[in-house]
Structure 1
Amino acid sequence: MTAIDPRTLRDAFGAFLTGVTVVTTYNQDEEPIGFTANSFTSVSLDPPLLIVCLARTSRNFETLTNAEGFAVNILSEGQKEVSNTFARPVENRFAHVDWQKGPHGSPVFSDVAAWFDCSLHKIVEGGDHVILIGKVEAFANGLANGLGYARGTYFTASLTGQAVSAAASDSDVMVGGVVERDGEILLLRNEADKFGLPECIITGAAGPDGLHDYLTMTTGLPISVGQIYSVYENRTAGRQHIVYRCTAGNGVPKAGQFFSIKGLPIARMATPATGDIVQRFAAESSIGNFGVYFGTERTGKVHQIGRKV
């Protein structure tokens, strides 16, 4: 059997878009505890069941597996900082969020997309994790959009929708990608010996699919098109641009060259806008805090999405 690298496997699992939750309960001293988790899913309506996967190495393992119940708080789009707080070793995490004891007894948060207060129905062995099956005893639907997470980065449905609308989906736009692999970015060299991002003119409505086809054909590599990274109007050329974050698989590209994020040829970029994009990507990669740029080729604003969990 071929050996599987755990880190590579984890990255592959991370391609699945999930929501972000905070799982809560009380410890033996009746103190509230909680942690950020995205390994959550519904199971059954009758009886009402859901599951959360918990690592055996978690410092909350003994508490959760011995508790009478737990709550799952599905965070809303505006609660990225709540996720970050409960993902890090922060003192008195609950001082940073509005919460109360739920009907069944576990802490539930305000302003979440939804919460579920559960009794512990069953624990199932799952390798280096256990699967906590909770029976929903009470719940509330906050009606807000949930906070999304994929490939180590938050995303929000509303911001993605704004980006697509801003790019005039029924018109032809220039669609490109910041194609990353192992800390490097793919750049294409033009006839003037300048470097740029791989991009093509397609109908905005077909942006991700059209970009995927173009990148796959151009590079000959497996390509994954991720979240929108930059939306701007080049007023000089009179054209809209959408740039996506992308990842490439192994192999030598048929076109282009990978450059280390720490050694990008900024002085040889084909346009100032491209230089700004790759410099921002390099800076954000170093801290794991990505945003989406809206504006023109000269001025605009970066809307922060959030830090890696």
Structure 2
Amino acid sequence: MYQPEEKLPMAQPKQPHPKTRRRRRDAGKGRFTKRDCFALIWIGHQYSIRLDQLQWVLGRFPGRGATYTNWISKSAARDVITRWAEEGLVRVERLEVDAPFWIWLTHKGLRRMGLSYTYRDLRKLKDVKGEDLTHIYAIRLDIEADEPKARWISERALRQGQIRLKGQKLLHRPDGVVVLPNGKTVAIEAELSAKKPFELEEILLELLWGEEYLRRKAEYDRQTAREFSRGDRSPYDQIWYFAPKTIRRRVRRARERLFANLTISQQEAERIYIAWYPLPHSDEEITQEVREDNEALGLDEDEATRVEDTSAQ
């Protein structure tokens, strides 16, 4: 009886498989955007940042489809922070109950951004207060919004490399320095707590006259140091003081005393600009802020225009 040949099992067709992809050179590493680099370097230079202010920093690069051109939402900022934290670049902590949390760079984050600062845990800093930092950051953000090409030098950068010998006094260090597009260098002071009149005067003179005045104070009595230092000039073309109303009055009185007793000249007095804090927002408030300081200097409208033109050059 005829027996048909036993059928061999049919060869199964090969199953399709995904196309083999070449391994990315940056596989296993976080993919960084221009915004990431900008924001992390911004934070690194400033010690830290609070979430609500980070929303404005990240808003410099809002991305496609963003509702705003200079700010991103809290949820969008949280997504960015989560990615940074997963890569070990930042620490995230809530320092106060019912307040936005803070972000600062880890050892890894500082090295990744090419910053040579020593790592500092914001929770343990005794010489840096979170509340003071928020005021300085608000001032910086406002200046950068008006002058996007301005270059900010942070207090942390100014402090780096300073060595204080026992018994040696260091020159007063501003809260920040701004180099404006026109090349002018401006010392920034956020004066939010009351200081003694003499202390305020000394801060103003150190900002106006610089290292030579400090050196002379170490060699002579203060009055002699003041007499010998007239005409000296610090690297700062201008000094901008940001202060609430009561503190503004104190700073203005200190400036007036120095001018009245001929310690500083009219031109030096005009280098010190005393601004509002909290910051003015409306055009009317900004105009009032300028008028207030011009009147304190005794400048009429023509003289005020001359000072503004000189500052802009």
| TM-score under structure 1 length normalisation | 0.26
Q: Which has the larger radius of gyration?
A: 2
Which structure has greater strand proportion?
1
Which structure has greater helix proportion?
2
| TM-score under structure 2 length normalisation | 0.26
